[in-house]
Each structure stands twice: as C-alpha cells, then as structure tokens.
Amino acid sequence: MERVAFMVEQTGDRIPCMLNPDSVVLRRLAGVQPRRSSGGALSRGVLADDPLFYTGGGTTEVLLNLLFDVSLSEAAQQIDDVRSMTRPLFELSQGRAKTSGQAELPLVRFVWGKAWNVLGVVSAVSERLECFTSEGAPQRSWMRIRMLRVGEPEEPAQSLDEPIAPSDISPEEVSGEESDFYSVTGEGMGDDSSTERLDQIAFTKYGSSSWWKLIAAFNNIDDPLNVTAGTTLRLPPNTA
C-alpha cells in the first residue's frame, strides 16, 4: 500500500507518515471582497447582499489528521518519545533563514501514490500527545496539519506518458568518474512495493523531476513508472 509522505522541494528530503489518513479535507476560499469606493462600501438598504468584486487568486487548503504511535513503529530500535517521529512534520511550519536574512516556509509536496501530488506550504500544525511514560515521554501523537497550495513552477515536469527520446550523450561517452550510480530499493514507496518511479529518482538526485527522460534514455528504460528493485541505474552528469 502506498504511504503518505511529504517531499521537501528544496532539499529532496522525504518525510514519511506512519499511517495514511482516514480522510482528506479540501477547503477552497475564492478571491473575492466587497466592492468599495472612495466613500466606503457600495451598499444600500435595498440590497440583501453586498456587491462583490472578484480579485482572482484565493486559497486552497488541504487538512490532514495523522496518527503516530511508538508501539506501531517498524524501526529496529525502540523509540522512547513519539515526538522524535513527528518533529520533522512539526518543523515544516517554521520559517528557515535565507542568505538575504529573510525567512521563508519550505515548499513541500504532499504525495500519496499517483492520486495526490500537491505543492504547498504547511501553514499550521497542532499535536495532541497521549500515553505518557512515568518520565513524561508521550507515546502517541494525534497530529493535524493545515497545508496551503501554491502554484507549480513555470516549467512543470514533463509527463511520464511522453515518449522517451534517445539521449544526446551515451553511457560509453561518460567516464566512470563523471557518472554516478543509483541502486533502486523501493524503500519508502509502500509496505510491499518493489519498484520506484524515475521522476522521484530524478528529483532526489538532480532537484528536478523533469530529468527522468534523460535517465530513462541513458539506461534504455521503457517504463519510467516501474523500475524494479535491485536495478542499478547509471546517472548522467549534470553537464549532460
């Protein structure tokens, strides 16, 4: 079964969730506001509703309720505090400093199989902790995440359904020192998954999922959606 995860756009870090949510709530707020003039709102006593002005834009919210419990962890070592599992998600709502001195929220993708791929920022997180040990360490967390969708980059990733064109550079032209290798494990792609997707590999290695076609052509892969675990891919250098 595919597992919900959050992909940090800038770093490529993948933050998996322990259990998939029972429901996903979508909330849309359109970009409208009451019409006004220099003298104030355009309203009269005979109107039942204020006249509205469509400003464009608006916001789309994704609301998730997630559960974490140390007793359900598959980690080899025993986890003493559930907050060690939820901290990466909690920190997504904290601004990080830029070189200019300004802070910004990291862009994050909410990914769930092939059905959900939403780019946005985590605007709010709440966490209810339960089942405390004698030392006060919580063992269970009910986490609620509020995510605001943002626009995709101007140059979206190419569709995985597009035909794969031959690469301008062949593996024989690249020395072993220039190229890199990637072993497909399927780890983190689901409880029983044995494949990975080339666009996810491309994003992890190059920071752009649109590189999947070059990797596919470089390795003579026909199905970019299902690369079998155990496969070793030869990755072209950035100059390719």
For residue range 203-216, list pLDDT tens digits in order: 888 877 778 888 88
Task: Using CB atoms within 10 Å of the CB of residue 112, give its burial: 0 to 12 exposed, 13 to 18 middle, 19+ buried.
Answer: middle
13-17, 137-141, 163-167: which is most confident: 137-141
Does position 202 have pLDDT exceeding 50, yes or no? yes
Residue 193 tokens read as 């998954």
Residue 146 or residue 41, greater confidence: 146
Q: What proportion of the chain, given as a percentage, has pLDDT over 70?
A: 77
pLDDT value of position 212: 83
Within 10 A of 215 (CB to CB), how many other CB atoms are there?
25
Tell me the average pLDDT across 17-32. Answer: 92
* The pLDDT value given to residue 188: 47
Q: CA dist 210 to 81, 113, 152, 157, Å? A: 39, 18, 13, 4
166 vs 15: CA distance, rounded Å: 34
CA atoms within 13 A on the CB side of 12: 11
pLDDT one-digit tens code per residue, 150-195: 987 755 445 566 655 555 666 666 655 566 788 887 664 544 467 7
Instruction: Lowest mean pLDDT of 73-77, 104-108, 201-205, 212-216, name the range.
Output: 73-77
What mean pLDDT do residues 108-113 have?
Answer: 90
DSSP-based three-state secondary structure for 171:
helix
